[in-house]
Structures are given as structure tokens and as C-alpha cells.
Structure 1
Amino acid sequence: MPSKVFLAVDLGASGGRVLAGLLDGQVLEMAEVHRFNHAPVNMHGRLYWRLFDLWANVLHGLREAQGTYGERIVSVGVDAWGVDFGLLDRRGELLAAPVAYRDSRTQGEFERTFAVVPREEIFAATGIQFMEINTLYQLRAAQRLGSPPLDRAGRLLMMPDLFHWMLTGVAANEQTIASTTQLYDPRTQGWSDDLIARLHLPRELFGRLIAPGTSLGPLLPEVVAETGLAGVEVVVPGSHDTASAVLAVPAAGENWCYLSSGTWSLMGIEAAAPVLTAEAYRWNFTNEAGVAGTNRLLKNISGLWLVQECQRIWRMEGRPYDWQQLAHLAAQAEPLRSLIDVDDPRLLAPRDMPAAIVSLCREAGQPAPATHGAIVRCALESLALKYREVLEHLERLRGARIDQIHIVGGGSQNGLLCQMTADACERPVLAGPMEATAIGNVLMQAIAAGAIADVAQARAVVRQSVKLLDYLPDESRNWRSVAPTTH
């Protein structure tokens, strides 16, 4: 019997992919159909996502998938990064390209917002960590600036919701991505109507919430004409990319945490209920919706963005390093010499990342890294120390020891960072799968189709299908003597 094929559109903040998941019984094979890079564009001082380039690449990928897999394709679903959104007018037409979260319009929005609703009350209502890039502060900034699209808006769609609407014409808000807005109540699993009202945001923007696994129906006729995908359903996965990645964590039992490692690092645990304690608030943890009604207690940490931006600058300077070359240079540099706070706001969108890292080292009283390898080693070791701090906080919040760290996503292929994480945290690390987000997207579609029974079986499929790498702590390196630099 031919394997069933599920298509995952996986959109990250620096690149996108269309992948095919071929499920044959309890074995899943992932095949890349189309991959592309993308980045926001600056226009009149505002940073926008190139929405129509993204859409053209999605259509191209779906068309290629149809040519390869034909009638075996069951469904397609989209996952993407959190917090960003598009707006439809009251007739259901797109108003403008979405603004990118690294845009400067939200600077200073914390203070203005907390003057209306105190910080503690926002956390009590939503359980979400405080980042000025959150949808809440983007909306407040747009409102303050008199944004014409917001004035005319009838619906808000988060990025994956927007692409599901482009595919089907159905405007719906999926729970896991809605939970990144800081306008979602994790206890009721609905919009926080009280907070929306107190912040004077238009309630009509926030539509019906749907759970992962919901079918939105068939593709629009024009999409079928463009791609050839007749008879294919659109099934919503855990459309926040981290929700899909966590579904693909190949874990068993309970004493584990995940680290989704890519442009951002997201480290956390699955919890049965939101954790809204004073410690969770003080440590700026977040409670986001997961698949199957779970709660993801996690911490957002700046991730491989630090190294990606160094790569970009060095490429412009005529040194086009690949990841393997950078890892080799970093491995040759002196260990534990220069450390920074990876979550310093000045690293969110600097013009020159290597210069910013060197500047922060000097400011923190650390030796300034003098080579490209030393800069990369500083970034990776600082990330590993941040992971140790977050692990300790997770254990406090959970009330029990965490025995193993699962690293998924692109960072699972960075052996140097995986080993540093094992050493710094003094825990074994199991690395893989790399394509966790797309795999989780496919698995949710397969659960919806009845091809996989539940989350536990989905994770068993990952364990059977993917080669995983073990990293054990190296006790010869004394990471315990090094204190993390926290902003």
C-alpha cells in the first residue's frame, strides 16, 4: 500500500520550506520539496515581511509536491513564527503587508502599556513572558501611531492563520499561535476579553479559536488551478512553529525538557496546566498553548540569530563562512574566556552583530574576542550558560529534577553547541530531529487523518524514524565555576 503524504509548509523568520511527510505504517520519511530564504524589507522607516514573495514560494512548493506525489497527498498545513500578524478589512480583504517584529515601533511601549494595565496584572491574565515584540505591544504601537490599516481592520490573523486564509478563504485563529499574542488566557483557552477591553483594543479583531487538527476544508479553486492539488484538505497543525516542534520531541516518560534551537532558542517543559506563580513571573517564563490541550511552560532565549548575523556581516566583508567552518574556528578558540548576556536588548537587531558582541564583552569586563572563532565561541558558550540558568528555573517551577535535554531543530546539528549544553547543564543531551517543526506539522495532520492515534504514538514514530545523537557531559570542563552574565 503506497504511503500517505502530508505536506508541511514551515515558515521561519529567516527561511521557509515545503516538505513532504511520507508515512508508511509507523515509519515517517521527510522529503524536502522546496526551500527558500527570506528577510524583511525596510520601507519608509518601517520593517515589513515580503508577504507576496513568501506566498509565491509556498505556491511553487505545493506545485512541485503535486508533480512528485500526486494523488497520495492527503492534506497540507502551515506553521510559522509567533507574534506577527496581518489585518483584513471588514469585507475580508488584506489591508497591508505584515510588519516584522524587529521593527522599532514597539520601543518604549512597555511603559506606556503598563501605565494602563500593570505588568503583574497582564501576566496574571495571560501567563506570557514580557517581550516588546509581542503582538499586544505591536497593536498598542500601531494604535498610538494612528495606523490606517488598524483603523480599517475587521480581523487579525497571525502569520500561519494568514496563510491558511490565503489557501482556503477561511479566517480563523488557531490556539497555539494565538497564545503568543499576550492577549490569550491559558486557563480558559480563549481570548482574554477583559485585558483586550482594558487596553482599548477592538474586540472584533479576535475571531473564533480553533484547535490543532481542525480541517479548514479544501483549497480555494484558484489555488488548485495554480498548484494542481485537487481534493487536498487544509488541516491546521500546531501552527506556532514551537508547538509543532514540541510534538516531534522523541521523548518518553516525564523527566525531560525540550530545547527548540534555531534563530531563537525555546526551552521548556510540557505542563498539564499554566504556571502563573510569582517565580514564573519574576523569571519571565511564558505559558503557551500546545497540541492536545497541553500547556508549554518555556523561556524564549536569543538563539543562533547571534551567529547568523555574524555570518551575514562577515559575508559582506568577503568571508563567506559556512556553519562547519564557523564551528571549527570556534572549537579552536580558548574556552570560557568571554561571556555575554545573550538576551541583552542590544542584540535584538544590531547593525553589526560582531561589533555588538565585542562591545558587550568589554562592558561586562570580559576580554574582547579578537578573532572570528572567539566571537562565535563567546556566543555559543553564552547560550549554553543561559540554558543552564533556564534549566535550574524549570526544575524549581516543576518541583522535580529534569534528567534529559532534547535538542530539536537546526541547532541539533551543531555538535559543538550540543556538547557545550551537556557540559554546562550537566545533563545528557539527545539531539534531533533537525526538521522537528515540519515533522510535528505532519504528525498533527496524520493524527487528524486517523493515521496515527495520539501524541504518544506520534513521538514513538519519531523515535523509529530519525537517527538521534547522544551527548554526555564532559566532567573535565569546570562549567560550574563560571557564572552566567544576565541582563
Structure 2
Amino acid sequence: EELFRRTGIQMLPFNTIYQLTALKRLNPSLLDRARTLLLIPELLRYFLTGERHSERTNASTTQLFNPFLNDWDTSLLDRLDLPRRLFAEVVAPGTGVGSLLSSVGEEIGLPGLPVIAVGEHDTASAVAAVPAENDDFAYLSCGTWSLLGTEVAAPVITGRAFAENVTNEIGVGQTFRLLKNITGLWLLQECRRVWARRGEAPTYEREQRLAKDAAPFRSLIDPDASMFVDPPDMPRQIQTYCRESGQPVPEKEGAIIRCILESLALKSRLVLESIEALVENRFAGLHMVGGGIGNRLLCQYTADALGRPVWAGPREATAIGNLLVQLIAAGQIADLRSARALVRQSFPVEVYKPVATEAERWEQALMRFRQFIALPSRAEPRSTTRTENDADG
């Protein structure tokens, strides 16, 4: 709880703080030889410019950054015996961080091109591109992960926030992204991988048709159950969950896909309600961005589960948000609100409205779904690990 009070970040096992403390314990000589810690976007900038900086939206996710100090938490670093020299100066999104190295500039024909630090955490850039009309909105950045939350002016660090295991990541434009990381279309991607290995993978269009034709609400899973972290056979793992929870076991692809999509939609409902309770506000609907919005059934089921409209788009929000921060830095756009207005003018947004005749069935499904959130689960790990990305639906 003290760590949450200092950093405001959700407890997740892959956070940088745990990676570094493990490295300190298992391979301390590597840290002794290291000069600077650069996260992936910062490393890319270093290759372009030769300059070493950390960027604020990304630094905040390490669980080593103190949002109240607006800098690395040096007392926390000292307690963990992590060398202060590793942690570079932190810059805000939109800060000029040098220009292209002469060798790079000559190679691409752009000598001396200035380089701007953007919102270098991918969700920070994605949220910057949410085409909201005002500051009072909820978003779901949807891909392999689902990141659902809202923008706030200051971190929400309370006992309830800690209990809900939400996170306060720094956003673009002096904002904080109060959100929760939840499993997204990873479940479906892993099913596809297994089906492809068997030579049975349906096309995307057939997936949608099979799911739509399958019986609704027969089986539900908690997408965040530990047994779904990285199993060798995701369809079998979903079947095991359903069997052990006393539900019908989905046998065919369409039933499994429908189980996944309905469960993701219901989990979004619960997380949105949790966020709303923390900020004492009810949002009119939900903005969905990212590759996951290509899954039209997921968008519709999310609207149905929420009982509110879903505004889907843009799909390439992360890349668009990156460009918007550069345009603001260059003086071509005034601020984040103007940037979002530009997104509304430039990219289509599809509206999904809840189907009124389905409302009672979704409410009944929600009551069942709540039972599964705390179910014990058995993990079947394999050697590979999941990485965060905005993968396609």
C-alpha cells in the first residue's frame, strides 16, 4: 500500500520495479556495468539523437516515479538499492530532445531534423487521440490488453483505489490516466494460434459469423483469471474454466469466441462502474479506440453490457496521438482539446447503441458474471510471455 501511495500505480507483476529488483538479485553485475536505463521508446530516440532522456508518461508506469515530485522517487530507489545514475532526466511530452544524428539525417535526407518526445507510453498517445468533445469522458484502449479509464487532473490515491488495483499513469497535457489494465483480445488471439496450429483457424469474417450464431450467455469467464495468463492451449483452458465453474462447456469455435466476447464486455461494465465510483461520476458512454475496434461484435456487446452508447474510433489512435503531440509542440495546434477536435474532423467514429430488447438478458448475465470474478484458477504456464500492444481484433 505504501508503494501505491508513493507512485499511484497498479500492482502488476511485470512492472519495471520488479524487473529491476529481480535483476539486482539475480544478475547484479549487469546493473553495475549499466550507465542509463532507457525504456524502448527512449532507446529508439537515443539511436536517433544520441541523447538520453526519460519521458514522463512512460516513466510513470515503472512504479519508480513519484507523481507528486514529478520525478524519480530517489528515496525509493535508495531503499531498493538501485543506482540513481541509471535514471535519466525526465521530460514532458512535447519536449524537444535534440536532433537527428548527422549519420541518420544524411541517410534519410533530413539533416538536422528536430526530434520531439511524444506521449511515449502507447496508451498515453492513444488517449490523446480520443475524439471526446469535453474533458468528461471514459475510454477503452482495446487490443491485446484492454485499458479502461478516464482522465483526471490529479492522481486518485485512496484506500478504495488501492483495493480496486487501479493505476494513475501520467497522460499528455498535464493529465493523469486513471485506469485499470485488464485482459483484452489476447484470449481470442491465443485461440486463433491454437486453431491455426491444428489447421482449423476460421477467417475473421467467419469468426464473427460463428460467434453471432452461437447461443448467447451459455458460458462466461473472468478474463483476468490467472489460468489465462499464458496457457499452452487457450481453448482447452477456457473449457476447463467453464467445466470447473459448473457451466456448459463450449466445444465449437463459435461458442468459445462468443464466451470470450461476452465476458470481455461484462468485465468492461464492472471496471467502468469501479472507475465511476472512484471519481463519483457517471459517463454518458464509452470511447473505444485501438485495433480491437475492428471486432464489431465486441463493440456491440460492450454497448449492450453497458447499456450506453459506444463511440468506436480511431483505430490507429496511438499513431495519431503521437503526431498530435508533435503538432502541438510545433505550434500547429493550440492544445489537447484542439487536437481532439481535429481527430473528430479527420477520422470516422462508428456509434454502437445498446439493443433495448437485450437489456434484461445482459443484466441477468451480469449477475452470473459477478460470481466468477473471484473464482480460484489453475495456471498452465508455458515458456513464452505476453507483451502489451494494440493488436488487431
* TM-score of the pair, normalised by structure 2: 0.91
Match in the other structure for 1:423:
304
Aligned-pair distance for 1:272?
A: 0.4
Q: Deviations over 1:101-142 (max 9, x none)?
A: xxxxxxxxxxxxxxxxxxx11111111111101111111111
Aligned-pair distance for 1:147?
A: 5.0
Q: Aligned match of 2:62 in 181, 185, 194? A: 181
Query: Which residue identity lines up with residue 327 of structure 2 in the other structure?
Result: A
Secondary structure at the counterpart of residue 406 of structure 1? strand
Q: Aligned match of 1:486 in 359, 373, 376? A: 373
Match in the other structure for 1:235:
116
**Higher deviation after alignment, 225-234 or 454-463:** 225-234
> In the alignment, does 2:133 pair up with 1:246?
no
Please say if residues 300 and 353 of structure 2, whose CA atoms lie closer than 8 Å, have aligned partners that are also in contact. Answer: yes
Secondary structure at the counterpart of residue 61 of structure 2? coil
Match in the other structure for 1:306:
187
Match in the other structure for 1:290:
171
Q: Aligned match of 2:99 in 196, 218, 222? A: 218
What are the residue-to-residue correspondences of 1:73-152 with 2, within 5 Å?
120-146=1-27, 148-152=29-33
Please say if residues 137 and 151 of structure 2, whose CA atoms lie closer than 8 Å, have aligned partners that are also in contact. Answer: no
Structure (1 or 2) with the greater strand fraction:
1
Match in the other structure for 1:470:
351
Please say if residues 217 and 233 of structure 1, whose CA atoms lie closer than 8 Å, have aligned partners that are also in contact. Answer: yes
Match in the other structure for 1:372:
253
Aligned-pair distance for 1:219?
A: 1.2
Secondary structure at the counterpart of residue 154 of structure 1? coil
Aligned-pair distance for 1:215?
A: 1.4
Please say if residues 134 and 337 of structure 2, whose CA atoms lie closer than 8 Å, have aligned partners that are also in contact. Answer: no
* Greater relative contact order structure (CA < 8 Å, 6+ sep): 2
Separation (CA, whole Å) in 2 of partners of 1:159 and 1:189? 21
Secondary structure at the counterpart of residue 140 of structure 2? strand
Match in the other structure for 1:158:
39
Match in the other structure for 2:154:
273
Separation (CA, whole Å) in 2 of partners of 1:147 and 1:195? 18
- Over 3 Å counting, the alpha-carbon distance change for 1:353 and 1:208 in structure 2 is same
> In the alignment, does 2:243 pair up with 1:400?
no
Aligned-pair distance for 1:204?
A: 1.6
Separation (CA, whole Å) in 1 of partners of 2:363 and 2:201? 35
Please say if residues 255 and 404 of structure 1, whose CA atoms lie closer than 8 Å, have aligned partners that are also in contact. Answer: no
Please say if residues 300 and 352 of structure 2, whose CA atoms lie closer than 8 Å, have aligned partners that are also in contact. Answer: yes
How many residue pairs match? The answer is 368
**Unaligned regions of 5+ residues in structure 1, if any?**
1-119
Separation (CA, whole Å) in 2 of partners of 1:317 and 1:226? 45
Q: Deviations over 1:70-120 (max 9, x none)?
A: xxxxxxxxxxxxxxxxxxxxxxxxxxxxxxxxxxxxxxxxxxxxxxxxxx1
Aligned-pair distance for 1:148?
A: 4.0
Query: Which residue identity lines up with residue 230 of structure 1 in the other structure?
Result: P
Match in the other structure for 1:339:
220
Separation (CA, whole Å) in 1 of partners of 2:228 and 2:241? 9
Separation (CA, whole Å) in 2 of partners of 1:129 and 1:430? 27
Separation (CA, whole Å) in 1 of partners of 2:12 and 2:245? 23
Q: Aligned match of 2:268 in 380, 387, 390? A: 387
Q: Deviations over 1:307-359 (max 9, x none)?
A: 11111121111134333222221111111111111111222222222122222
* TM-score of the pair, normalised by structure 1: 0.74
Query: Which residue identity lines up with residue 190 of structure 2 in the other structure?
Result: E
Query: Which residue identity lines up with residue 145 of structure 1 in the other structure?
Result: L
**Higher deviation after alignment, 182-191 or 269-278:** 182-191
Q: Deviations over 1:136-170 (max 9, x none)?
A: 11111112212543231121111111111111111
- Over 3 Å counting, the alpha-carbon distance change for 1:151 and 1:361 in structure 2 is farther
Match in the other structure for 2:391:
none
Query: Which residue identity lines up with residue 362 of structure 2 in the other structure?
Result: W
Match in the other structure for 1:257:
138
Match in the other structure for 1:73:
none
Aligned-pair distance for 1:403?
A: 0.8
Separation (CA, whole Å) in 1 of partners of 2:63 and 2:241? 30
Please say if residues 255 and 403 of structure 1, whose CA atoms lie closer than 8 Å, have aligned partners that are also in contact. Answer: no
> In the alignment, does 2:244 pair up with 1:363?
yes
- Over 3 Å counting, the alpha-carbon distance change for 1:372 and 1:155 in structure 2 is same
Separation (CA, whole Å) in 1 of partners of 2:211 and 2:31? 46
Separation (CA, whole Å) in 1 of partners of 2:49 and 2:206? 43
Separation (CA, whole Å) in 1 of partners of 2:30 and 2:107? 29
Please say if residues 333 and 377 of structure 1, whose CA atoms lie closer than 8 Å, have aligned partners that are also in contact. Answer: yes
- Over 3 Å counting, the alpha-carbon distance change for 1:352 and 1:451 in structure 2 is same
Q: Deviations over 1:268-299 (max 9, x none)?
A: 00000000011110010000000111011000
